[in-house]
């Protein structure tokens, strides 16, 4: 079983003026390999060096840092990891050397008003374990490096002398599997930075639920359990969490780890996250006859019973988030009702004329208000289909197109 999450720019029939501006200001950023990573064994699945893309900040943002974990699913067995090692999800040899920085990574003040002049870093994802593994598999013919934890440490050590060690403000963010990584590295990130630095964390589409699928099986629980075992992840999970649960591998799920995170945290997620809808709630193994195929392609095609199931998933997500919503005074939320996955890196969903809104606030405005303490931001959308601002939906083909 191999779950690969992809992010694509939305292909819309009408190009609004602000989208034309975003294309004119498209920012391409070079890749930086981490040569010292080899000494600590911080290698991608295939043994290649890890990498990141850095675009320097300036002016008032020159001492501020935004780090963004790249997403891209996971591999939980040797076969899927061997396949992954031959792709850009497991090797920097196959990655593009130039990355587009848009949305929260944009350097355009109009398109990214709060973070445009910060030092912005994209951490490339090549370990298949949300930057948490620490073991090596080797036999006579094959070696696989499950070294996500070491990759995280090596990239941070490479960035510290480049100015990160003097950071005044910092935001650790990530999308999908990268959003999940923020839960596991948020507090550790703060330990590298000055004591007086303002350090906060943001997960975009990373709040993966420990939820039964439509056949009443915990498909995602078993997937994550095999992932944790294969990649030697358990020792890198939050020790307070693993000490509190009978099954410590459950701490890979954000809903169990979140309560033990000290740094201020923001959770950006769709209540109908497309990836979770397709792979946690209705995985193919639970819908062998394809009764959900039309609903997956178009929510308007869902039956009344299917809509009820989706509403139940939304309520379960809100229930899992309730302790955070009620008890975290420094936490922020933006839980909308758009059928989407990953909304901070796409300009269309981050900040634009027709971006989704809750209480007339875009995602960029909500995150900015929370980070800079301009306003308390805990926004929860009404249930589908009441939100009329969900123009930029990400269909199944685009969620799975960049495996």
Show which residues are catalytic.
Answer: 176, 273, 341
CA 91 to chain centroid, in Å, comes to 19
Q: What residues contact residue 32 under an 8 Å CB cut-off, 6+ apart?
A: 51, 52, 53, 54, 158
Triad 403, 238, 212: Cα angle to 5° = 55
CA distance 257 to 241: 6
* Start-to-end CA span in the chain (Å): 13
Residue 297 sits at φ, ψ, to 5 deg, of -75, -30
Triad 30, 34, 35: Cα angle to 5° = 125
3-state class (DSSP) for residue 189: helix
CA distance 38 to 31: 17
3-state class (DSSP) for residue 238: coil
Strand 64-69 to strand 119-123: parallel, antiparallel, or no bridges (unpaired)?
A: parallel
Q: How many CB atoms lie within 10 A of CB 330?
A: 13
Q: How many CB atoms lie within 10 A of CB 284?
A: 13
Contact, 62 vs 115, CB < 8 A? no
CA distance 208 to 343: 15
Contact, 200 vs 100, CB < 8 A? no
Q: How many CB atoms lie within 10 A of CB 374?
A: 11
Query: Among 70, 263, 269, which residue's Cα sits nearest to residue 169?
Result: 263
DSSP H helical ranges for 232-350: 239-244, 254-257, 274-276, 293-297, 304-327, 347-350
Query: Among 379, 267, 277, 378, which residue's Cα sits nearest to residue 329?
Result: 378
CA distance 227 to 180: 14
Which residues on neighbouring strands pair with residue 62, listed in sequence order?
A: none
Contact, 390 vs 337, CB < 8 A? yes
């Amino acid at each position: 079983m191999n779950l690969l999450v992809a992010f694509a720019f939305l292909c819309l029939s009408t190009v609004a003026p602000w989208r034309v501006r975003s294309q004119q200001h498209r920012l391409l950023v070079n890749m930086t390999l981490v040569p010292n990573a080899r000494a600590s064994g911080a290698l991608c699945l295939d043994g290649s060096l890890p990498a990141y893309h850095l675009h320097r900040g300036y002016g008032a943002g020159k001492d501020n840092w935004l780090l963004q974990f790249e997403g891209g699913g996971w591999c939980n067995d040797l076969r899927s990891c061997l396949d992954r090692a031959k792709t850009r999800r497991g090797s920097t040899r196959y990655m593009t050397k130039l990355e587009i920085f848009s949305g929260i990574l944009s350097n355009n003040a109009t398109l990214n008003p709060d973070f445009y002049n910060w030092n912005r870093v994209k951490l490339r994802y090549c370990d298949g374990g949300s930057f948490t593994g620490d073991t090596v598999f080797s036999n006579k013919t094959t070696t696989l490096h499950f070294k996500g934890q070491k990759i995280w440490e090596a990239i941070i050590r490479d960035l510290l002398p480049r100015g990160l060690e003097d950071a005044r403000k910092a935001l650790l963010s990530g999308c999908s599997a990268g959003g999940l990584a923020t839960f596991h590295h948020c507090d550790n990130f703060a330990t590298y930075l000055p004591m007086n630095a303002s350090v906060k964390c943001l997960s975009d589409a990373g709040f993966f639920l420990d939820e039964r699928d439509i056949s009443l099986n915990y498909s995602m629980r078993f997937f994550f359990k095999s992932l944790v075992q294969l990649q030697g992840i358990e020792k890198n999970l939050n020790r307070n969490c693993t000490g509190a649960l009978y099954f410590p591998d459950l701490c890979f799920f954000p809903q169990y780890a979140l309560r033990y995170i000290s740094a201020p945290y923001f959770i950006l997620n769709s209540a109908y996250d497309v990836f979770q809808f397709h792979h946690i709630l209705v995985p193919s193994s639970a819908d062998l006859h394809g009764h959900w195929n039309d609903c997956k392609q178009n929510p308007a095609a869902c039956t009344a019973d299917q809509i009820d199931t989706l509403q139940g998933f939304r309520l379960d997500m809100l229930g899992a988030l309730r302790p955070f919503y009620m008890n975290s005074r420094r936490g922020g939320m933006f839980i909308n009702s758009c059928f989407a996955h990953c909304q901070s890196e796409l300009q269309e969903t981050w900040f634009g004329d027709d971006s989704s809104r809750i209480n007339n606030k875009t995602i960029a405005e909500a995150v900015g208000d929370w980070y800079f303490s301009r306003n308390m931001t805990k926004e929860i959308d009404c249930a589908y289909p009441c939100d009329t601002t969900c123009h930029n939906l990400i269909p199944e083909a685009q969620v799975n197109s960049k495996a």
